């Protein structure tokens, strides 16, 4: 009974990943009668690793993943700590927190594109009315600002989700632990670092892993918001693979980029599998 | 904590809560408000915080000239069929994982979760080649197949927790009465785990509704585009028709918001049990 589901998943995910590896080792040409493969060894990987564009995309994606995930975890933890108490309207708030998570990323990209607009964008208008800036800023116009702008859109959409996971983690911590810490004379900071943080580690690790993996697949947001620009400064590895394959028809090198992404993700997953194991074990008992 | 500290803490809680809600809601407000403005008002300087002359013309344009109805229908078809398939396959698989003696359960579950986090780009070129050879580019199955595969793992993960909570005695009673495994699942277990089913279903539906990458690559023909691709490609060469985009967006957001708010409790429980308890 498990097998139909597992077979199907394997057929549509594992098999293509294997096939990707094979494709990345071939010269591939698209012609009227389908795709022509000819074995090329590691030639595609050589092209990719020698490409400055790949280096740039890799660095952008790593910086993007690390910064957004860190900010989301810290912000999410702060909010979760603040609202982890019996206050009115928390149920309603949690319902609202779900909404950004259900939002089509393309819509959020268009929404932020309009907010950032350099001519009639509301953000410039608000900042100017508050006299925080004197002249309008072209948010998507320079590499650094564009990167920050994409990050803000991501942080806006994902922090509520992270908050919910951490809030659930906080609620699992038995309150007598805090009382014991208090009796032992621990202040708020002390009990945060010696009770909350260690017990929250599994949820934090899981949220971090999910988010980092997701961030490595980053595509929708820059595709719509900046088109990878200005220049190629906000091009993620997924976008690079997409452009190579479907705009330039460089199937071999593009697939090599995809395989490299899988390898990075696998390594990260293996490192974090300890966190998974600990949690799965808990349920299986 | 002293009473004063408790009161301060409560105040901080309320302030954070209200700030967060404002930050979440503000862009949505801006989106809906913009969809009710005329084109001139949308690019007005300074921007108007309320529509001066509210109009539904953006909506009629979106469905008329821009043919948004096709995208909406495609999204509905693909998401609903994928969700039904996921629920059927996942309920069988997660029941088996929760009940039957299968070796390497932990390994299967961990592998499944890792797979479900793979970005779409990792399988895109082989799937494209296969779809091309099968003549399935620009079709509903081009999306339904990968959507089902990528959403099954998480659905199994969530449902398993619910199934594990149902006492085994019920299964045994059913078996004594002569019910097979399939009958047991569909007649006894599923009705008892409706929250789990709905949670799995909602997660899958949201994921299919919002998916962009496969839809962009596999269905390039206008008549098979889904909402995200439609909204991403509304942009013209030089101008971006924000009115149309936000009218379409509002229409796309509404069903999901209603769905999630109705099933709020289950979704939250699913998220937390799926993601935190394991």
Domain boundary assignment for chain B: 67-277
Q: At what angle do helices B105-116 and A2-9 cross, to 10 degrees?
A: 40
- Best-predicted range by mean pLDDT (A67-71, A183-187, B106-110): A67-71
Residues of B in contact with A246 (CB under 8 A): 217
pLDDT tens digits in sequence order for chain B, 278 residues long: 678 888 888 899 999 999 999 999 999 999 999 999 998 888 887 888 888 888 899 999 889 888 899 999 999 999 999 999 999 998 888 888 877 776 777 777 777 777 777 888 888 988 998 998 899 999 999 999 999 999 998 888 888 878 877 888 888 888 888 888 788 888 888 888 887 888 889 889 999 999 999 999 999 999 999 999 999 988 665 678 899 999 999 999 998 888 888 888 777 776 665 544 43
Query: CB–CB of A8 and B276 under 8 A?
Result: no
* Identity of the residue in A89, A122, A254 whose CB atom sits nearest the CB atom of B30: A122
* Residues paired with A36 in a beta bridge: A29
Tokens of B232: 């991403």
Structure-token match 């990968």, residue found: B146
User: Number of CB pairs < 8 Å for A and B?
Assistant: 295
Residues of A in contact with B93 (CB under 8 A): 1-2, 4-6
pLDDT of residue B209: 95
Residues of A in contact with B143 (CB under 8 A): none
How far is A199 from chain B, CA to nearest CA, in Å?
12
Instruction: Give the dihedral of Cα atoms B56, B59, B61, B66; nearest 10 deg.
Output: 170
Tokens of A221: 């947001």
SS (H, E, C) chain A: CHHHHHHHHHHHHHHHHHHHHHHHCEEEEEECCEEEEEECCCHHHHHHHCCHHHHHHHHHHHHHHHHHHHHHHHHHHHHHHHHCCCCCCHHHHHHHHHHHHHCCHHHHHHHHHHHHCCCCCHHHHHHHHCCCCCCCCCCCCCHHHHHHHHHHHHHHHHHHHHHHHHHHHHHCCCHHHHHHHHHCCCCHHHHHHHHHHHHHHHHHHHHHHHHHHHHHCCCHHHHHHCCCCCCCCCCCHHHHHHHHHHHCCCHHHHHHHHHHHHHHHHHHHHHHHHHHHHHHHHHHC
Instruction: Give the dihedral of Cα atoms B58, B64, B68, B70; nearest 10 deg.
Output: 170
Distances (CA, A) of A265 to A248, A268, B95, B153: 25, 5, 29, 17
List chain A domain ranges.
Answer: 2-284
> How does A148-168 read in b/e, with b if 16+ C-beta sit within 10 Å?
ebbbbbbbbbbbbbbbbbbbb
pLDDT tens column, A6-51: 778 888 888 888 888 998 998 888 777 777 888 888 889 999 899 9
Inter-residue contact B48 to B34 (CB < 8 Å):
no
| Cβ neighbours around B250 below 10 Å, total | 20
| CA–CA distance, B18 with A96 (Å, rounded to integer) | 11
Task: Examine the pLDDT at A282 and tell me if it is beyond 50.
Answer: no
pLDDT of residue A284: 39
pLDDT tens column, A257-275: 999 998 988 888 777 666 5
pLDDT tens column, A170-179: 888 888 888 8
pLDDT of residue B56: 92
Residues of B in contact with A97 (CB under 8 A): 20, 24
pLDDT of residue A285: 33
Instruction: Return the CATH number of the domain spanning residue range B67-277.
Output: 1.10.3720.10
Give the mean model confidence (pLDDT) for residues A142-160. 95
Give the helix/strand (H/E) hosting B61. helix B57-63
pLDDT of residue A2: 65
Q: Which residues contact A246 (CB under 8 A, 6 or more apart)?
A: A254, B217
Inter-residue contact A238 to A217 (CB < 8 Å):
yes
Chain B, residues 249-278, CB within 8 A of chain A, namely: 249, 252-253, 256-257, 260-261, 264, 267-268, 271-272, 275-278
pLDDT tens column, A72-108: 999 999 999 999 888 888 888 888 888 998 999 999 9
How far is A168 from chain B, CA to nearest CA, in Å?
6
| CA–CA distance, A153 with A150 (Å, rounded to integer) | 5
Residue B74's Cβ-side half-sphere holds a number of Cα atoms within 13 Å equal to 26
Does the N-terminal peptide bond of residue A238 adopt cis geometry, omega within 30 degrees of 0? no
List phi, psi (to 5°) of B176.
Answer: -60, -40
Chain B, residues 156-215, CB within 8 A of chain A, namely: 156, 161, 164, 181, 206, 209-210, 212-213
pLDDT of residue A31: 75
pTM for the model stands at 0.89
**What is the DSSP-derived secondary structure letter of residue B222?**
G
Q: Which of B115, B121, B275 to mutate to test the interface with A (most CBs of A within 10 A)?
A: B121
- Please list the alpha-helical segments (H only) found in B68-222: 68-99, 105-116, 121-134, 141-164, 168-176, 181-183, 190-192, 194-210, 213-218
Query: CB–CB of B246 and A110 under 8 A?
Result: yes
pLDDT of residue B92: 86
**How far does chain A reach from its first CA to its final CA, in angstroms?**
23
Residues of A in contact with B245 (CB under 8 A): 110
Residues of B in contact with A261 (CB under 8 A): 119, 121-122
Give the helix/strand (H/E) hosting B60. helix B57-63
Inter-residue contact B178 to B254 (CB < 8 Å):
no
In DSSP notation, B162-203 reads HHHTS-HHHHHHHHHTT--HHHIIIIIIHHHTHHHHHHHHHH
Query: CB–CB of A110 and B93 under 8 A?
Result: no
Instruction: Work out the percent of chain A whose per-residue pLDDT is above 90.
Output: 37
Q: Which residues contact B254 (CB under 8 A, 6 or more apart)?
A: none
How far is A226 from chain B, CA to nearest CA, in Å?
12
| CA–CA distance, A216 with A57 (Å, rounded to integer) | 11
Give the mean model confidence (pLDDT) for residues A117-139. 84
* Identity of the residue in B92, B120, B129 whose CB atom sits nearest the CB atom of A1: B92
Give the mean model confidence (pLDDT) for residues A230-236. 92
Which CATH number is A2-284's, of 2.40.400.10, 1.10.3720.10, 3.40.190.10, 3.40.50.300? Answer: 1.10.3720.10
Coil, helix or strand at residue B42: helix
Residues of B in contact with A17 (CB under 8 A): 118, 122-123, 126
* Identity of the residue in A114, A203, A276 whose CB atom sits nearest the CB atom of B113: A276
User: Looking at this predicted complex, what is its ipTM?
Assistant: 0.89
User: CA-based angle B80:B83:B88, to the nearest 5?
Assistant: 130
| Cβ neighbours around B262 below 10 Å, total | 13
| CA–CA distance, A247 with A241 (Å, rounded to integer) | 10
Instruction: Give the dihedral of Cα atoms B222, B227, B233, B235; nearest 10 deg.
Output: 120
User: CA-based angle A227:A147:B206, to the nearest 5?
Assistant: 65
Tokens of A243: 């452009």
Structure-token match 């809906």, residue found: B32
């Amino acid at each position: 009974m498990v097998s139909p589901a597992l077979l199907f998943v394997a057929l549509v995910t594992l098999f293509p990943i294997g096939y990707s590896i094979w494709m990345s080792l071939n010269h591939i040409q698209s012609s009227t009668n389908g795709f022509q493969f000819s074995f090329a060894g590691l030639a595609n990987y050589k092209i990719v690793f020698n490409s400055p564009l790949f280096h740039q995309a890799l660095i952008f994606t790593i910086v993007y993943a690390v910064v957004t995930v860190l900010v989301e975890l810290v912000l999410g933890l702060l909010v979760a700590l603040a609202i982890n108490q019996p206050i009115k309207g928390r149920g309603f708030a949690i319902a609202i927190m779900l909404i950004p998570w259900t939002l089509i990323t393309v819509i959020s990209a268009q929404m932020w594109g309009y907010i950032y607009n350099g001519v009639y964008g509301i953000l410039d208008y608000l900042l100017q009315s508050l006299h925080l800036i004197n002249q309008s800023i072209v948010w998507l116009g320079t590499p650094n600002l564009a990167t920050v702008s994409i990050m803000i859109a991501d942080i806006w959409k994902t922090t509520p989700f992270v908050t919910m996971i951490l809030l659930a983690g906080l609620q699992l911590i038995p309150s007598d632990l805090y009382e014991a810490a208090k009796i032992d004379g621990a202040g708020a900071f002390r009990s945060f670092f010696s009770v909350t943080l260690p017990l929250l580690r599994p949820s934090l690790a899981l949220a971090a892993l999910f988010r980092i993996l997701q961030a490595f697949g980053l595509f929708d947001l820059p595709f719509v918001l900046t088109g990878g620009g200005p220049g190629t400064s906000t091009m993620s590895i997924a976008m690079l693979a997409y452009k190579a394959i479907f705009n330039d028809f460089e199937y071999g090198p593009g697939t090599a980029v995809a395989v490299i992404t899988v390898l990075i993700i696998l390594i990260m997953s293996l490192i974090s599998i300890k966190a998974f194991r600990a949690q799965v074990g808990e349920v299986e008992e | 904590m002293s009473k004063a500290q408790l009161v301060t803490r409560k105040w901080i809680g309320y302030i954070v809560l209200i700030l967060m809600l404002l930050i979440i809601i503000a862009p949505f407000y801006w989106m809906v408000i913009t969809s009710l403005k005329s084109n001139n008002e949308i690019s007005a300087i300074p921007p108007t915080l309320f529509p001066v002359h509210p109009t539904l013309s953006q909506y009629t344009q979106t469905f008329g000239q821009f043919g948004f109805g096709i995208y909406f229908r495609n999204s509905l078809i693909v998401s609903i069929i994928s969700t039904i398939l996921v629920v059927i396959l996942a309920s069988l698989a997660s029941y088996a994982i929760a009940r039957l003696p299968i070796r390497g359960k932990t390994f299967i579950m961990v592998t499944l979760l890792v797979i479900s986090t793979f970005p779409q780009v990792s399988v895109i070129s082989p799937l494209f080649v296969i779809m091309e050879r099968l003549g399935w580019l620009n079709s509903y199955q081009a999306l339904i197949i990968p959507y089902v595969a990528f959403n099954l793992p998480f659905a199994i993960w969530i449902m398993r927790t619910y199934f594990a909570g149902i006492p085994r005695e019920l299964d045994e009673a059913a078996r004594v009465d002569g019910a097979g495994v399939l009958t047991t699942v569909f007649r006894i277990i599923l009705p008892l785990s409706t929250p789990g089913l709905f949670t799995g279903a909602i997660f899958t539906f949201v994921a299919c509704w919002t998916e962009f990458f496969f839809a962009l690559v596999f269905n390039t023909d206008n008549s098979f585009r889904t909402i995200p691709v439609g909204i991403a490609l509304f942009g013209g060469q030089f101008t971006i028709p924000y009115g149309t985009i936000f009218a379409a967006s509002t229409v796309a957001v509404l069903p999901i918001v209603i769905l999630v708010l109705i099933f709020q409790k289950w979704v939250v429980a699913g998220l937390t049990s799926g993601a935190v308890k394991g």
